[in-house]
Structure 1
Amino acid sequence: MELEFLGTGAGVPAKHRNVTSIALKLLDERNAVWLFDCGEGTQMQILHTTIRPRKIEKIFLTHLHGDHIFGLPGLISSRSFQGGTEPLEIYGPTGTEEFIRTALKISRTRLSYPLKFIEIDQEGILFKDKQFEVSCKKLDHGIDSYGYRVVEADHQGELKVEELSALGIQPGPIYGQIKRGDTVTLPDGREVDGRQFVGQPKKGRIVTILGDTRYHSHSVELARDADVLVHESTFKKDEEKMARTYYHSTTQQAAKVAKEAQVKQLILTHISARYLAKDVLDLRAEAEEIFPQVRVAKDFYVLPIHFEE
């Protein structure tokens, strides 16, 4: 599992930052990519990565401001041209389907795959299968803006292959029985309790990605105990009044959410184009005054999300 930041800017594209889009790469887990927001130029950013548009399985939109959605028609169209045939699910606030279907209709774009729209009309669980659960809560941004919490199911413990080999038990279908925890009778009459040869389960990982928002208690709830929290940081700490006026957050408000939620790592994104390299160091330092495990994302930054040791 990895996060790849395709765009980390706020409002308008800049030379050093494109507007918002984040890829959650689940290639080992389900051979798929989930996209969170799709600002203008996202498909161009993808060309500089190993991501294949046809691998994009789901797109989650935090809100319908242009810097988060204007890249959708182009990406959806290109996914078709590039051989995509699998359905694409798009989650977002009311108006998501109208925006996309209007753009495709007016441009007479024909797709080689079906679109499925899931418009959010209430908070709670949006998607759940054996591997993942995705839930959302509304934030505070003037228009409907949501944060998403992705929870991975716990992984079964690893089979203790060396111990089995030491007992003379060779690989084969019997390993599957043992890994299920069954009691297995060997050809020589010995009984093996499978539970003794499977390691401890690995706790599933939690990723929280928030839309644009003022400081809000829902942010803390969505981020509770997350391995990674991705939070917007449009303003410096001394610009709290401006952040409130424009329904955004400061560095230290994001850090406050991370601290209250007891997350393992905070990633700041949605950085104003007026902040350059030296300013980014200041943004990080401000957040570190409250929460030390913080990084300011830049375009194409890749964050591996490891299991807790």
Structure 2
Amino acid sequence: MEIQFLGTGAGSPGKFRNVTSTALRLLDERNSVWLFDVGEATQHQILRTTLKPRKIDKIFITHLHGDHIFGLPGLLSSRSFQGGNEPLTIYGPKGIRDFVEVSMRVSETKLSYKIHYRELSADGMIFEDDKFRVYAQHLDHRIECFGYRVVEKDHPGELMVDKLREAQIPSGPVYGELKAGKTVTLPDGRTVSGADFLGPSQPGRIVALLGDTRQTRNAARLTQDADVLVHESTFAKGESKLARAYYHSTNIQAAELAKRTNVKMLLLNHISARYTGKMALELQQQAREVFKNTRVVKDFDEYNVPFQKITAEGAQK
């Protein structure tokens, strides 16, 4: 599981930051890529990465401001020409379907795949398969806006081969059945349970990706115990009144949220064009005074989301 930033700027594109788009690379987990927001020229940014548009099968839109959706028509069209024939699902506030369909109709664009739409209204779980759950919560912005919480399901524990050998259980297909937690009958008549030969399960990882927002209780529901929090930082320390007036957050507010909800890593994006070079580093340093493991991200930055280490007793480190 990796996070790659395709655009980290706020409002309009700049020389060093494109507008918002974040890719969650799940190639090892489910051979797919999920996008969170698709700002203008996202497909141009993708050309400078190893991402393949045909691998994108889910797009999560936080809200309908242009710097978060103006890249959608071009990306969806190009996906048709780049081998993307599998269906794609778009999640987002009411209106996202109209935006896409009007764009496709007016431009007479014909897609080689079907788009499924999930226009959100209520908070809660919006997707589940055998590996992941995704939750959405309303945030506090000038228009309807959502944040997303991606929860990976726990991985089964490792098969304790040494213990199997001690029990004189011969290797072979039976190991696979025990790894799956099944109860099997051995050739010598013994009945054994896979649960007795599995180490502690590996907790899945949690990634929270918030849209533009003022501080709200729902943010804490999304971010609690997250391994990684991607949070906007449109304003800096000392600008909380401005942030509230414009329905945004400061770097300090994001850091305080990360600390309060036991987040492991905070990645700040949606950076105003006012903060370039050293000023962007100042945003990072200010936030680190509150929450040490904070980084201000740049376009094309990549971050691996690590598993938390599990001790023999099953406790997290």
Alignment TM-score, normalising by the size of structure 2: 0.93
Q: Which residue of structure 2 lines up, in the alignment, with residue 288 of structure 1?
A: 288
1:158 aligns with 2:158: yes
Aligned partner of 1:200: which letter?
P
- Supply the distance in 2 between the matched residues of 1:124 and 1:67 (Cα, whole angstroms): 25
Q: Which residue of structure 2 lines up, in the alignment, with residue 31 of structure 1?
A: 31
Q: Which moved more, 1:128-137 or 1:63-72?
A: 128-137
Superposed displacement of residue 157, structure 1: 0.7
Q: Which moved more, 1:233-242 or 1:66-75?
A: 233-242
Q: Which residue of structure 2 lines up, in the alignment, with residue 64 of structure 1?
A: 64
State the secondary structure of the residue aligned to 2:219.
helix
Q: Which moved more, 1:85-94 or 1:166-175?
A: 166-175
Q: Which moved more, 1:241-250 or 1:95-104?
A: 241-250
State the secondary structure of the residue aligned to 1:14.
coil
Superposed displacement of residue 182, structure 1: 3.4
Unaligned 5+ runs, structure 2: 310-317
Tell me the percent identity: 59
Q: Which residue of structure 1 lines up, in the alignment, with residue 54 of structure 2?
A: 54
- Supply the distance in 2 between the matched residues of 1:184 and 1:108 (Cα, whole angstroms): 59
**Following superposition of structure 1 onto structure 2, how do residues 90-239 of structure 1 map, counting pairs within 5 Å?**
90-164=90-164, 169=169, 171-189=171-189, 192-239=192-239
1:7 aligns with 2:7: yes
Q: Which moved more, 1:181-190 or 1:136-145?
A: 181-190
**CA shift in 2, pair 1:280/1:50, >3 Å:** same
State the secondary structure of the residue aligned to 2:212.
coil
Q: Which moved more, 1:93-102 or 1:253-262?
A: 253-262
- Supply the distance in 1 between the matched residues of 2:290 and 2:113 (Cα, whole angstroms): 47
State the secondary structure of the residue aligned to 1:58.
strand
State the secondary structure of the residue aligned to 1:68.
helix
Superposed displacement of residue 160, structure 1: 2.2
Q: Which moved more, 1:44-53 or 1:69-78?
A: 44-53
**CA shift in 2, pair 1:191/1:121, >3 Å:** closer
Q: Which residue of structure 2 lines up, in the alignment, with residue 18 of structure 1?
A: 18
Superposed displacement of residue 109, structure 1: 0.4
**Following superposition of structure 1 onto structure 2, how do residues 264-283 of structure 1 map, counting pairs within 5 Å?**
264-283=264-283
Superposed displacement of residue 72, structure 1: 0.2
Q: Which residue of structure 2 lines up, in the alignment, with residue 73 of structure 1?
A: 73
Superposed displacement of residue 159, structure 1: 1.5
State the secondary structure of the residue aligned to 2:140.
coil
Any idea what the Cα deviations from partners look like across 1:130-185, whole Å, max 9, x if unmatched?
21111111111110011011111111111123544576655532112211333434
State the secondary structure of the residue aligned to 1:262.
coil
Aligned partner of 1:197: which letter?
F
Q: Which residue of structure 1 lines up, in the alignment, with residue 261 of structure 2?
A: 261
Alignment TM-score, normalising by the size of structure 1: 0.96
- Supply the distance in 2 between the matched residues of 1:175 and 1:38 (Cα, whole angstroms): 45
Name the count of aligned residue pairs.
309
Superposed displacement of residue 112, structure 1: 0.4
**CA shift in 2, pair 1:177/1:239, >3 Å:** same
- Supply the distance in 1 between the matched residues of 2:118 and 2:66 (Cα, whole angstroms): 19
Q: Which moved more, 1:99-108 or 1:161-170?
A: 161-170
Any idea what the Cα deviations from partners look like across 1:176-222, whole Å, max 9, x if unmatched?
22113334343355554422321110111111000001111111111
- Supply the distance in 2 between the matched residues of 1:96 and 1:124 (Cα, whole angstroms): 19
Q: Which moved more, 1:101-110 or 1:159-168?
A: 159-168
**CA shift in 2, pair 1:191/1:8, >3 Å:** same
Aligned partner of 2:101: which letter?
R
**CA shift in 2, pair 1:102/1:183, >3 Å:** closer
- Provide runs of 4+ in structure 1 moved above 6 Å: none
**CA shift in 2, pair 1:288/1:83, >3 Å:** same
CA RMSD of aligned residues (A): 1.5
Any idea what the Cα deviations from partners look like across 1:212-236, whole Å, max 9, x if unmatched?
0111111111101111111000111
- Supply the distance in 1 between the matched residues of 2:250 and 2:116 (Cα, whole angstroms): 35
